[in-house]
Amino acid sequence: MMQTLLLAGAAESLDPLAWTIVVVGVGIVFLSLLIVYIFFRYILTFILNFKLKSFARKKGIDPAEALTAKTIQSGEVNAAIAMALYRYFNELHDVESGVITIKRVSRHYSPWSSKLYNMNNL
C-alpha cells in the first residue's frame, strides 16, 4: 500500500514532457527491435535464397533442386552426426576418483614481497 502511494506521488511529480520522453523512448526501442526481427526473419532469408539460386544457375543446376538438396539429408548422415556428437560429449569428462588431496607448500622467502625493502631509511 505504501509503495503504491510512493509510486503515485512520484508519478504526479513528473511533468507531461517527461512522460512524452518516456513513451517516445520506449516506442523507439520496440520499433527498432521490430525492424531487426523483420530484417533477420524475412529480408535476410530472401537474400540468402537469391544468392543460392544465382550460384546454382552459374553451376548449371536447377535452382529448385539446389534448394531441396540443401535441406534434405539421408538417415545415415544424421545417424553418423548423432553418434559423433554422442562420443565427443561423453569423452570430454574424465573418470575422477573422488579423492581430494591438499599438499602444503612451504613459502620460501622472496625479496619481491618483502616490506622491508620498500621502506625508506631515514
Tell me the pLDDT tens digit for each residue of 41-54. Answer: 888 888 888 887 77
- Dist. CA 31–CA 17, nearest whole Å: 21
Residue 96 C-alpha cell reads as 575422477
Q: How far is CA 49 from CA 30, 53, 66, in A?
A: 28, 6, 10
Q: Quote the pTM value.
A: 0.39
- Dist. CA 16–CA 62, nearest whole Å: 61
| Predicted confidence band of residue 108 (pLDDT cuts 50, 70, 90) | low
Q: How many residues does the chain have?
A: 122
Report residue 23: phi and psi, to 5°.
Answer: -65, -45
| Predicted confidence band of residue 120 (pLDDT cuts 50, 70, 90) | low
Is the pLDDT at 68 greater than 70, yes or no? no
- Dist. CA 32–CA 30, nearest whole Å: 5
Task: Give the pLDDT of residue 33.
Answer: 97
- Dist. CA 51–CA 46, nearest whole Å: 9
